Amino acid sequence: MSEPMVKAEGVHKRFGRLEVLKGITLEVQPGEVMVLLGPSGSGKSTFLRCINHLEKINSGRLSVDGELVGYREAGDKLHELREPEIARKRGEIGMVFQHFNLFPHMTALENVTCAPIRVKKIQRDQANARARELLERVGLPDKVASYPAQLSGGQQQRVAIARALAMEPKLMLFDEPTSALDPELVGDVLQAMKQLAGEGMTMIVVTHEMGFAAEVADTVVFMDDGIVVEAGDPDRVLGDPRHERTRAFLSKVL
Amino acid sequence: MSGWGGIETPPAAGRPDDIRAVPVRHPGRWVAAALILLFGASLIHSVATNQLLEWHVVGHFLFDQRILEGVVVTLELTVSAMALGVILGVMLAVMRLSPNPLVSGTSWLYIWFFRATPVLVQLLFWFNIAAIYPSISLGLPFVGVEFAHGSANTVITTYVAALLGLGLNEGAYMAEIVRAGIISVGEGQTEAAQSLGMSRLQIMRRIVLPQAMRVIIPPTGNETISMLKTSSLASVIALTELLLAAENIFSVNYKPIQLLIVASIWYAAMTSVLYVGQYYLERHYARGAARELPATPFERIRRGLFSLRREGARS
Tens-place pLDDT, residues A10-43: 999 999 999 999 999 999 999 999 999 999 889 9
Measured in whole angstroms, how far is the alpha carbon of residue A91 from the centre of its chain? 13
pLDDT of residue A227: 94
Is the Cβ of A150 closer than 8 Å to some Cβ of chain B? yes
Q: What is the mean pLDDT of residues B192-202?
A: 94
Is the Cβ of A119 closer than 8 Å to some Cβ of chain B? yes
Q: What count of other Cβ atoms lies within 10 Å of the Cβ of residue A22? A: 15
Q: What is the mean pLDDT of residues B77-85?
A: 96
Interface contact A97-B188, CB threshold 8 A: yes
Q: How far is A235 from chain B (nearest CA, A)?
A: 32
How many Cα atoms sit within 13 Å of B52 on the Cβ side? 4
Q: What is the mean pLDDT of residues B42-64?
A: 91
- In the 3-class helix/strand/coil scheme, how is B130-175 assigned residue by residue? HHCCCEEEEEECCCCEEEEEEEHHHHCCHHHHHHHHHHHHHHHHHH
Question: Which helix or strand (DSSP H or E) is residue A127 part of?
Answer: helix A124-137
Q: What is the mean pLDDT of residues B165-178?
A: 96
Interface contact B200-A83, CB threshold 8 A: yes
Those residues with Cβ within 8 angstroms of residue B144's Cβ, 6 or more apart along the chain or in another chain: none
Residue B76 phi, psi (nearest 5): -60, -45
CB pairs under 8 A between A and B: 79
Interface contact A105-B289, CB threshold 8 A: yes
Distance CA B15, CA B263 (A): 60
Asked whether the predicted pLDDT for residue B13 surpasses 90, the reply is no
Q: Which residues of chain B are within 8 Å of residue A115 when distances are taken between CB atoms?
A: 193, 196-198
Q: Which residues of chain B are within 8 Å of residue A52 when distances are taken between CB atoms?
A: 195
Taking only the tens place, the pLDDT of each residue in A48-79 is 999 999 999 999 999 999 999 999 988 889 99
Taking only the tens place, the pLDDT of each residue in A154-198 is 999 999 999 999 999 999 999 999 999 988 889 999 999 999 999
Question: What value of ipTM does the predicted structure carry?
Answer: 0.92
Taking only the tens place, the pLDDT of each residue in B121-153 is 999 999 988 888 888 777 777 777 777 777 777
Interface contact A105-B194, CB threshold 8 A: no
Comparing CB atoms, the residue among A83, A93, A164 nearest residue B199 is: A83
Q: How far is A112 from chain B (nearest CA, A)?
A: 10
Mutant choice from B98, B187, B190, B196 vs A, greatest count of A C-beta within 10 A: B196
Residue A151 phi, psi (nearest 5): -110, 155
Those residues with Cβ within 8 angstroms of residue B223's Cβ, 6 or more apart along the chain or in another chain: B82, B85, B170, B173, B174, B177
Range scoring the smallest mean pLDDT among A190-194, B6-10, B204-208, B290-294: B6-10
Q: Which residues of chain A are within 8 Å of residue B291 when distances are taken between CB atoms?
A: 147, 149-150
Asked whether the predicted pLDDT for residue B2 surpasses 50, the reply is no
> Concatenated DSSP letters for A172-201?
EEEESTTTTS-HHHHHHHHHHHHHHHHTT-
pTM: 0.78
Comparing CB atoms, the residue among A94, A150, A164 nearest residue B291 is: A150
Question: Which helix or strand (DSSP H or E) is residue A164 part of?
Answer: helix A153-165
Instruction: Work out whether the CA dihedral B265, B268, B271, B277 comes out positive or negative.
Output: negative
3-state secondary structure (DSSP) of residue B289: coil
Measured CA to CA in angstroms, residue B140 lies from B40, B144, B156 at distances of: 64, 7, 20
Interface contact A101-B200, CB threshold 8 A: no
Comparing CB atoms, the residue among A88, A90, A102 nearest residue B195 is: A90
Interface contact A103-B199, CB threshold 8 A: no
Q: How far is B135 from chain A (nearest CA, A)?
A: 43
Q: How far is B99 from chain A (nearest CA, A)?
A: 14
Distance CA A64, CA A54 (A): 14
Is the Cβ of A16 closer than 8 Å to some Cβ of chain B? no
Is the Cβ of A101 closer than 8 Å to some Cβ of chain B? yes
Those residues with Cβ within 8 angstroms of residue B202's Cβ, 6 or more apart along the chain or in another chain: A118, A119, B193
* Residue of A249, A240, A190, A179 whose CA lies nearest to A216: A190
Measured in whole angstroms, how far is the alpha carbon of residue B227 from the centre of its chain? 8
What are the residue ranges of helices labelled H in chain B? 27-49, 55-62, 65-96, 101-116, 119-127, 152-155, 158-184, 187-195, 200-202, 209-230, 242-253, 256-285, 297-314
Comparing CB atoms, the residue among A87, A104, A107 nearest residue B197 is: A87
Q: How confident is the model at residue A115 (pLDDT cuts 50, 70, 90)?
A: very high
Measured in whole angstroms, how far is the alpha carbon of residue B254 from the centre of its chain? 33
